[in-house]
């Protein structure tokens, strides 16, 4: 029980400890809920809402430094799953259940175009990004459909996390969460989820001046080990 991440690597490395259950601060009914999970009356499906760093992380990070991006000159490692690339105890979004789930891509475009007005500066020059607040940007969107199958022996819920790794422009993050969908499936059952991606909302980065931009080029979408390339063009 804790209000945030802890270095429990000692437990993770111990072969006598086969599972770790994090419950936050569950309140007065927490004991019954924990018992239901331990004794198999309830199939857990939670995902970690933060990265769990090793103890050595606090030796590198000043509590007053809230910068997200790493700084190689000072050795500052950065913060959150979006920018931190060092060792972790558990990653943002990690979580297991008594079932296993597989993902399969059903439909997803490989190219999406953002229309520009006549005379736009990027029509006659090589731009790496365009403003996300432009009027033409409001009509750019794609759908990504995925099939999810419960390949385990037990019914359970599963959270499908869709991440995007943008092109490396404007010191962009290594990845960010586009969205998530939760499905409940019986053993051996299949379901389908759809992500409606707004290009000018979900595929943007913030430039050096704090202006939100649509990064042009290849965005890699991934769900678990499944990846798909989506090229944003003008």
Q: Tens digit of pLDDT per residue, the chain (234 long)?
A: 999 899 999 999 999 999 999 999 999 999 999 999 999 999 999 999 999 999 999 888 888 889 999 998 988 999 999 999 999 999 999 999 999 999 999 999 999 988 877 777 787 668 888 888 766 677 788 999 999 999 999 999 999 999 999 999 999 999 999 999 999 999 999 999 999 999 989 999 998 888 899 999 999 999 999 999 999 988
Residue 84 Cα distances to 28, 38, 79, 91, 206, angstroms: 35, 33, 5, 10, 17
Residues 6+ apart with CB under 8 A from 221: 108, 144, 162, 163, 164, 178, 227, 228, 229, 230
pLDDT at 208: 86
pTM (predicted TM-score): 0.91
pLDDT at 63: 84
pLDDT at 186: 97
pLDDT at 125: 67
Angle at alpha carbon of residue 91, lines to 24 and 12, rounded to 5°: 75
pLDDT at 136: 66
For the chain, which domains are there?
A: 1-96 (no CATH), 101-233 (2.60.40.10)
pLDDT at 45: 94
pLDDT at 124: 62
């Amino acid at each position: 029980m804790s209000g945030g991440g802890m270095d429990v690597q000692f437990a993770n490395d111990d072969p006598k400890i086969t599972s770790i259950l994090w419950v936050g601060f569950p309140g007065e009914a927490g004991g019954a809920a924990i018992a239901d999970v331990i004794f198999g009356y309830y199939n857990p499906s939670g995902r970690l809402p933060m990265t769990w760093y090793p103890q050595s992380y606090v030796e590198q990070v000043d509590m007053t430094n809230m910068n997200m991006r790493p700084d190689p000159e000072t050795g500052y490692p950065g913060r959150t799953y979006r920018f931190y690339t060092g060792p972790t105890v558990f990653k943002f979004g990690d979580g297991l259940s008594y079932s296993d789930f597989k993902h399969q891509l059903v439909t997803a475009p490989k190219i999406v175009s953002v229309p520009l007005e006549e005379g736009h500066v990027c029509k006659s020059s090589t731009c790496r990004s365009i403003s996300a607040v432009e009027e033409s940007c409001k009509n750019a969107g794609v759908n990504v459909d995925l099939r999810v199958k419960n390949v385990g022996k037990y019914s359970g819920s599963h959270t499908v996390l869709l991440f995007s790794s943008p092109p490396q422009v404007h010191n962009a993050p290594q990845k960010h969460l586009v969205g998530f969908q939760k499905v409940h499936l019986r053993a051996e059952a299949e379901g389908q989820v759809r992500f409606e991606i707004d290009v000018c909302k979900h595929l943007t980065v913030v430039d050096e001046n704090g202006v939100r931009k649509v990064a042009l080029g290849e965005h890699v979408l991934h769900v678990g080990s499944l990846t798909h390339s989506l090229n944003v063009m003008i």
